[in-house]
Amino acid sequence: MSMIFFACVVRVRDGLPLSASTDFYHTQDFLEWKRRLKTLGLRLAQYPGRGSAEGRDFSIHFSSFGDVACMAICSCQCPAAMAFCFLETLWWEFTASYDTTCIGLASRPYAFLEFDSIIQKMKWHFNYVSSSQMESSLEKIHEELKLQPPVVLTLEDTDVANGVMNGHTPMHLEPAPNFRMEPVTALGILSLILNIMCAALNLIRGVHLAEHSLQVAHEEMGNILAFLVPFVACIFQDPGSWFCWLNQTS
């Protein structure tokens, strides 16, 4: 009887999944427990060592050492000693296959997906080999669990509520203030008209000098710029007034 359904290897500091077994269970309950496992994987730094979360049909067990943690979804009939023996063996196999540098530099999920074949072999071994053949290993883990029991998590610890992970303060978004431009006053309209007149005069005098620039010395270019620069300055002096005035007249 299969008691270990799914297993994965996770980097503790950020919850990045490094490898996982190929699962063949697609029931709604099982998929929900996979979501719980993923959520818990993001919080493993808070729970060093061993831990469990049990439900009606499934349970999650994890074992964390250093920056690598192994997690599994098991049947509720699976003894805790067997689950943790499986996770410890999986941890040793993974850390023996990949050094800490490779693990630390992994930047994408399931960067070591080829390790899936080893996970599948280990799952089959623990699911179908009689416990008498693993008696010594199980007794060792059983004694360790007596001396240091695993952390027991509730289902709420593995849930995600409204897309926000438990233990994190949700963000409260406030609507941005609505700013409206004030209408242009009579004094503003008068200032706008004077700016237009000054700009037009500077433009006319600048163009007039430009027509004669080809026949005079280069120093006359300074005089041309002396009129064109104020023209541009008048245009951009109060763009807000221009915009408001155009809106009112349209």
Residue type, 249: T
Backbone angles phi, psi at 133, to 5 degrees: -75, -15
Q: What is the DSSP letter of 204?
A: H
User: Considering only CA atoms, which of 116, 100, 114, 33 is closest in space to residue 67?
Assistant: 100
Per-residue 3-state assignment (H helix, E strand, C coil) for 19-39: EECCCCCCCHHHHHHHHHHHH
User: Considering only CA atoms, which of 134, 35, 128, 160 is closest in space to residue 82?
Assistant: 134
The Cα 183–Cα 186 span in angstroms is: 10
Does residue 176 have a pLDDT over 50?
A: no
Query: By percentage, how much of the chain surpasses pLDDT 90?
Result: 48
pLDDT tens digits, residue range 99-109? 999 999 999 99
Does residue 71 have a pLDDT over 90?
A: yes
3-state secondary structure of 124: helix
Query: By percentage, how much of the chain surpasses pLDDT 70?
Result: 70
CATH T-level fold of 4-152: Beta-Lactamase (3.30.450)
pLDDT at residue 233 in the model = 63
Question: Is 213 or 162 the better-scoring residue by pLDDT?
Answer: 213
Over range 225-250, report the average pLDDT: 55
Measured CA to CA in angstroms, residue 182 lies from 156, 191, 192, 224, 245 at distances of: 52, 16, 15, 37, 11
pLDDT at residue 178 in the model = 45
pLDDT tens digits, residue range 125-150? 999 887 777 888 899 999 999 999 99
pLDDT at residue 239 in the model = 52
Does residue 123 have a pLDDT over 80?
A: yes
Q: What is the DSSP letter of 22?
A: P
Does residue 98 have a pLDDT over 90?
A: yes
Does residue 246 have a pLDDT over 60?
A: no
What's the mean per-residue pLDDT of the chain? Answer: 79
pLDDT at residue 103 in the model = 95
Backbone angles phi, psi at 219, to 5 degrees: -65, -15
Q: Do residues 63 and 48 touch, judged by C-beta distance below 8 A?
A: no
